[in-house]
Structure 1
Amino acid sequence: MPGRETAGRPSPPTERVVAVLNFLARHPQQRFGVSELARQLGLSKPTCLGIVTTLAECDYLVRDTNDKTYRLGPALITLGHTAQEAMRVDPAARTELRRLSGIAGTTAALSAVVDDRITVLDLVGPPGADVGVQVGQSYPFAPPVGLMFVLWDDAALRDWLAREPTVPLRTDGERLQRVVDECRRTGYLVERLTPAGRRLYGLMAGMSSRLPDELRALLGELVADIGERVYLRSETPQGSRQRHDISVISAPVFDHHQRQAMVVSLQIGTALTDGEIAKRARALTTTADALTSRLGGTKPAFDG
């Protein structure tokens, strides 16, 4: 499958501007002078000064006149809101995510496939929470990554399975069908927390679908089967009080064509019983249904 099309040659001056903004975004509570920014980013001081001066004049940065340091500015707020609207993120979605986060006591996220990339659209969590992902972060949309975005749509699932995988895979068709059936019946997907899973997304963040051979080999050791990290309650003995290490619980948001438009997720990162999973899943699916309604969408009916 071809990678993302490039319109032309990269622009080094633009890359330097992006580097400044990305660095400050990674340190939102701090302010930096020109000398420190230049040193951190490997830029000459005159080049760095020109960049931050122009960005400050446009309100993309704010300059402290006392100590001559810079931080992110208010124009980026408007830019971010506009980008979210362009991706069909209803401003009320943040209210729904905040409610969900408060009920579950953990971070709630909204994500979608944008230009063939899985992209985090919004993220709301308890103060100080760090789940290892950020708004705007993106991942290749190809097996084994992205199952939650196609589980509730037969055509989308077939298309996704037909994509060139990011790593060599084996597929247990019988178990994958059980995953599809149970997730459609319950309305949500539960992923196990594993060391491999934690490393997988960290390694793939921001990368294209054409991964270097060395990284493909490493990822092949981490994830070898589509859906292998999915937790199915039907595979646990009835009445068991066993706790399961859970990474994420996700539920679909549908548009007016009854197609998956987005996914709402709860970042868990701890061990839960079946009852605790079900409690969080109920709050999650309520949020997903509310966002579906706001989109003017409709949930499809599945047999069984």
Structure 2
Amino acid sequence: MAADPDTGRRSPPTDRVIQVLDHLVARPERRFGLSELARTLDISKPTCLGILTALVSGGYLTRDVETKTYGLGPALIAAGRAAQRGFAVGPIVRPHLSALAAAFGAVCTASAVVGDQVMILEVATPPGVQSGRAAARVGQVYPFAPPVGLMYVLWSHDDEFARWLRRDPAFPVVLDQGLLRRVVDDCRERGYLVERLTPNGRRLFSLMAGVAGRDLPAELRELVGEMVSSLGERVYVGGEISADVEYPVSLIAAPSYDADGRQALVLTLDVGGSISGVEIERRGRALAVAADAVTAELGGVAPVRSGVDRY
């Protein structure tokens, strides 16, 4: 029976959900009808139906409308991959994030593309800051479709970048090819990305947590699309940054790679304010060094650029 870790109390409703999932996970090749599941698990049919309906709605189960049977759903694939990746990279990336968080007094994260979503896999907070106060939380997901997710393909092979651009946009996007090319070239040369801090940018990030853009009403999608405006315009390119001038920065991001030279993780360092060009470079280089160390510990390699790559 599921227990509250703080009180030790059991939660029978939660137990019944776990019973259903455990039963199906143990028999992945089979599908079950409502009556059979209710009888086997000793759950009333109305309660069992409610559980199944909620799990189907969340994508954790699927329902065959012809046979009226239930089986495992795609959300479990994403959850399993996230758990597998999290257990694998957590011990490696955690010390690097913690060191960065302490050095710069900033919340730092590691995230990756899991299935069709971006998922936060690790969060480090500065000393004295409670983890619950951090905006980012382990397990948070975001859409992986333009204009969201640029930093997850920015440093990867161009075929992956092109596939991302061809995805059905989460919101209406203005695609400035010239600007996007400059952003790609600049970030690949520097090894890190600097995202502008805009009035609506942080709010948009909060609104997007756990939301699939295509599921929003059309009017809201258009409104958010206006907030985003042009793909790539929220990224500073090197020529815009002077050493002695302060710039509003949302975050800085740098990639880690797998053994095939593809992006495995993105490490971010939150800023959320104005800092000088010198400080941008200092933080960016420190983040890139940490990301390179994670790449090495993962057995990864940076991709070899041909000099003529075009998305």
Q: Structure 2 length as normaliser, TM-score?
A: 0.70
Q: How does 1:245-256 map to 2 (within 5 A)?
A: 245-256=248-259
1:257 maps to 2:267: no
Query: How many angstroms does 1:107 deviate by?
Result: 1.1
1:50 maps to 2:9: no
Task: Give the structure 1 partner of residue 35 of structure 2.
Answer: none
Query: How many angstroms does 1:110 deviate by?
Result: 0.2
1:110 maps to 2:98: no
Q: How does 1:201-216 map to 2 (within 5 A)?
A: 201-212=205-216, 213-216=218-221
Task: Give the structure 1 partner of residue 192 of structure 2.
Answer: 188
Question: The residue matched to 1:300 in structure 2 has which SS?
Answer: coil
Letter paired with 2:300 = G
Query: How many angstroms does 1:235 deviate by?
Result: 2.1
The answer for unaligned runs of 5 or more in structure 1 is 1-16, 35-47, 56-79
Take 1:218 and 1:99, find their aligned partners in 2: how far apart are those partners?
39
Question: The residue matched to 1:277 in structure 2 has which SS?
Answer: helix
Q: 1:293 aligns with which of 288, 292, 296?
A: 296
Question: Contact 1:138/1:205 (CA < 8 Å) preserved in 2?
Answer: yes
Take 2:119 and 2:220, find their aligned partners in 1: how far apart are those partners?
21
Letter paired with 1:247 = S
Query: How many angstroms does 1:273 deviate by?
Result: 0.8
Take 1:137 and 1:180, find their aligned partners in 2: how far apart are those partners?
26
Q: 1:225 aligns with which of 224, 230, 233?
A: 230
Task: Give the structure 1 partner of residue 125 of structure 2.
Answer: 125
Q: 1:266 aligns with which of 269, 280, 287?
A: 269
C-alpha distance after superposition, 1:232-264 (max 9, x if no partner): 22124x55x221110110000100100111101
Letter paired with 1:97 = L
Question: Contact 2:147/2:231 (CA < 8 Å) preserved in 1?
Answer: yes
Query: How many angstroms does 1:51 deviate by?
Result: 3.7
Query: How many angstroms does 1:49 deviate by?
Result: 5.6
Instruction: Flag the 1:204–1:90 CA change in 2: closer, same or farther, 3 A.
Output: closer
Take 1:156 and 1:163, find their aligned partners in 2: how far apart are those partners?
11
Alignment RMSD, CA only? 2.8
Question: The residue matched to 1:264 in structure 2 has which SS?
Answer: strand
Question: The residue matched to 1:179 in structure 2 has which SS?
Answer: helix
Question: Contact 2:146/2:165 (CA < 8 Å) preserved in 1?
Answer: yes
Take 1:284 and 1:84, find their aligned partners in 2: how far apart are those partners?
24
Take 2:149 and 2:279, find their aligned partners in 1: how far apart are those partners?
25
Question: The residue matched to 1:122 in structure 2 has which SS?
Answer: strand
1:198 maps to 2:202: yes
Take 1:152 and 1:95, find their aligned partners in 2: how far apart are those partners?
23
% identical aligned pairs: 43
Take 2:174 and 2:7, find their aligned partners in 1: how far apart are those partners?
49
C-alpha distance after superposition, 1:7-54 (max 9, x if no partner): xxxxxxxxxx9xxx9xx8xxx9xx6899xxxxxxxxxxxxx9634788
Instruction: Flag the 1:54–1:272 CA change in 2: closer, same or farther, 3 A.
Output: same
Task: Give the structure 2 partner of residue 5 of structure 1.
Answer: none
Take 1:171 and 1:258, find their aligned partners in 2: how far apart are those partners?
27
Question: Contact 1:233/1:274 (CA < 8 Å) preserved in 2?
Answer: no
Take 2:82 and 2:277, find their aligned partners in 1: how far apart are those partners?
38
Q: Structure 1 length as normaliser, TM-score?
A: 0.71
Task: Give the structure 2 partner of residue 99 of structure 1.
Answer: 99
Question: The residue matched to 1:102 in structure 2 has which SS?
Answer: helix
1:167 maps to 2:171: yes
C-alpha distance after superposition, 1:90-120 (max 9, x if no partner): 4121111111212222111000000110000
Question: The residue matched to 1:246 in structure 2 has which SS?
Answer: strand
Take 1:299 and 1:223, find their aligned partners in 2: how far apart are those partners?
30
Question: Contact 1:103/1:283 (CA < 8 Å) preserved in 2?
Answer: no
Question: The residue matched to 1:91 in structure 2 has which SS?
Answer: helix
The answer for unaligned runs of 5 or more in structure 2 is 18-78
